[in-house]
């Protein structure tokens, strides 16, 4: 039987896996994604350090539009989630031919939406940094960076779709390995594009390294080239190698009303939440921008550094989405509940540990990211504030994954939306005046704690288990 569904024996009507077996399954599915997140974070540190070596203005140029790039990425993932939930539940129900149909529709929509996003991103690239309140020496670099990144959005969305579908089929290793490869390629290509040709002495030998020397724009170009190569490989594994997803004759390439209606119903709440949340992040950037280049650079690098802490949570969330989704499809709601709570518990435990490590290592992390002493001091201070929110942040991340695996997308989206705007932005506006960047990050810490408590309450009430499986619609 295919790798992706070997563990479906846990979902049979008579299956009674032990707690140890369930925990082992969650861990086995989570670890590849966590390793990919680790590599992604490490490589983003290297990436940030490369740009940071050009000075605070260069770091601020990338940081200024970071939330905007996340908006487009997030919107793409919303669309992908609508298809992925269907795939997970259809596999659980054993309806593999429908899985292939959904996969084809996901690929077509990813390319189409990606082209629309690219046109929009390119169109606003010139005015976006100005609107965000960037200083003149920052806006030019930000505009070039966002323009280049926007051109690559069709490829980004197709890569996201392929990786998510493989994960929901149970194949966590392939997309994780490819994401690790993408991170490594990103560092190599960044080195080629950011820096000029230079001679480096290594072990007594003078080595010449070619470089285009295009600065901040080179970071965006390196990212896009890495995305292109990774997407080609991802499509190879999805279309030709996956026993469940690979292309087979007889399955038409057409959009089906039922599939698209279900996708839209699942994706719209997530998309609205993601848009408003990303707009809140952009508003947060707008709040930080008047504080000066040092604050913008410290804020951008602190966000990057925090990625180290929450990467296990997203690994657990992906496992929870797959396991809950396939359990619901197999009509094992008891199993779905156990997998959901087990995933949340593991996520909270692991992220509590990473939060402690982040608090201790904050000064060292920033010493690796930038040579600017002022940015180091400010960034380490605000990062330590965030560390206190990590346990409940973990609860929100993993619980959201579990709930969405059951097809519960509306309430989680409302929770994240209300928490972001009602708590984080409101509190940041109140605290930025007296406390500066510290106030913005205190607001973030409080908001993440509130969000985590609300998600745990949603899980406890259990209404998500009563929802009709999307594969039965």
H-type alpha helices, 370-436: 373-387, 390-405, 410-419, 426-435
Rounded CA-CA distance 352/372 in Å is: 30
DSSP per-residue letters across 92-136: HTT-HHHHHHHHHHHHHHHHHHHHHHHHHHHHHTTTHHHHTT--H
**462: nearest Cα among 397, 402, 391:** 402
Q: CB–CB of 45/369 below 8 Å?
A: yes
- Through-space distance between the first and last CA atoms of the chain, rounded to whole angstroms: 27
Polymer length in residues for the chain: 473
Rounded CA-CA distance 89/466 in Å is: 15
Query: Tell me, what's the pLDDT at 158?
Result: 92
Q: Is the pTM of this model over 0.85?
A: no
Rounded CA-CA distance 425/415 in Å is: 15
Per-residue pLDDT of the chain (473 residues; tens, 9 = 90+): 334 444 555 665 566 666 777 777 777 777 777 776 666 656 655 666 777 777 777 777 777 787 778 778 777 877 788 888 888 788 877 777 888 888 889 999 999 999 999 999 999 988 888 887 777 778 888 888 889 989 999 999 999 889 888 887 878 788 888 988 988 888 888 888 887 777 766 666 776 777 677 888 888 888 899 999 999 999 999 988 888 888 877 777 888 888 888 888 888 887 777 777 767 777 887 888 888 888 888 888 888 778 777 778 888 888 888 888 878 877 888 888 888 999 999 999 989 998 999 899 889 888 887 788 888 899 899 999 988 999 999 999 999 989 988 888 888 888 988 898 899 999 999 999 899 999 999 999 999 999 999 999 999 988 887 766 665 55
Cα 285 to chain centroid distance, Å, stands at: 19
**Pairing between β-strand 196-202 and β-strand 205-212 as defined by DSSP bridges:** antiparallel
**424: nearest Cα among 315, 297, 280:** 280
Tokens of 3: 């790798």
């Amino acid at each position: 039987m295919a790798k992706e569904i070997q563990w479906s024996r846990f979902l049979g009507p008579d299956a009674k896996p032990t707690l140890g077996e369930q925990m082992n399954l969650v861990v086995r599915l989570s670890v590849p994604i966590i390793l990919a997140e680790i590599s992604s974070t490490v490589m983003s540190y290297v990436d940030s350090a490369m740009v940071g070596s050009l000075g605070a203005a260069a770091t601020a140029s990338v940081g200024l539009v970071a939330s905007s790039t996340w908006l487009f990425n997030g919107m793409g993932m919303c669309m992908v989630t609508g298809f992925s939930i269907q795939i997970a539940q259809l596999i659980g129900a054993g309806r593999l031919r429908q899985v292939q149909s959904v996969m084809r529709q996901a690929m077509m929509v990813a390319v189409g939406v990606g082209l629309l996003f690219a046109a929009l991103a390119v169109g606003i690239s010139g005015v976006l940094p100005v609107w965000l309140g960037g200083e003149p020496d920052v806006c030019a670099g930000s505009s070039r960076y966002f323009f280049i990144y926007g051109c690559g959005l069709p490829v980004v969305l197709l890569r996201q779709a392929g990786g998510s579908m493989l994960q929901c089929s149970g194949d966590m290793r392939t997309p994780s390995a490819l994401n690790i490869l993408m991170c490594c390629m990103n560092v190599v290509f960044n080195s080629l594009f950011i820096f000029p040709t230079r001679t480096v002495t290594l072990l007594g030998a003078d080595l010449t390294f070619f470089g285009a020397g295009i600065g901040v724009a080179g970071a965006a170009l390196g990212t896009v080239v890495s995305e292109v190569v990774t997407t080609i490989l991802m499509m190879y594994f999805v279309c030709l190698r996956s026993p469940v997803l690979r292309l087979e004759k007889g399955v038409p390439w057409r959009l089906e009303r039922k599939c698209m209606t279900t996708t839209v119903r699942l994706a719209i709440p997530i998309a609205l939440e993601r848009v408003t949340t990303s707009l809140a992040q952009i508003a947060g950037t707008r709040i930080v921008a008047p504080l000066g280049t040092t604050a913008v650079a410290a804020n951008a690098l602190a966000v990057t550094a925090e990625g180290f802490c929450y990467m296990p949570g997203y690994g657990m969330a992906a496992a929870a989405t797959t396991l809950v989704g396939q359990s619901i499809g197999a009509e094992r709601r008891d199993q779905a509940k156990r997998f959901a709570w087990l995933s949340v518990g593991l996520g909270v435990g692991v992220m509590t540990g990473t939060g402690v490590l982040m608090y201790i290592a904050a000064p060292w992390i920033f010493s690796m990211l930038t040579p600017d002493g002022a940015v180091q001091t400010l960034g380490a201070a605000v990062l330590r504030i965030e560390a206190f929110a990590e346990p409940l942040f973990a609860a929100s991340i993993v619980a959201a994954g579990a709930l969405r695996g059951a097809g519960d997308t509306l309430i989680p989206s409302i929770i994240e939306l209300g928490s972001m705007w009602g708590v984080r932005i409101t509190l940041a506006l109140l605290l930025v005046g007296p406390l500066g960047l510290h106030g913005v990050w205190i607001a973030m810490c409080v908001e993440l704690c509130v969000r985590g408590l609300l998600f745990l309450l949603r899980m406890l009430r259990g209404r998500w288990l009563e929802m009709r499986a999307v594969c039965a619609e």
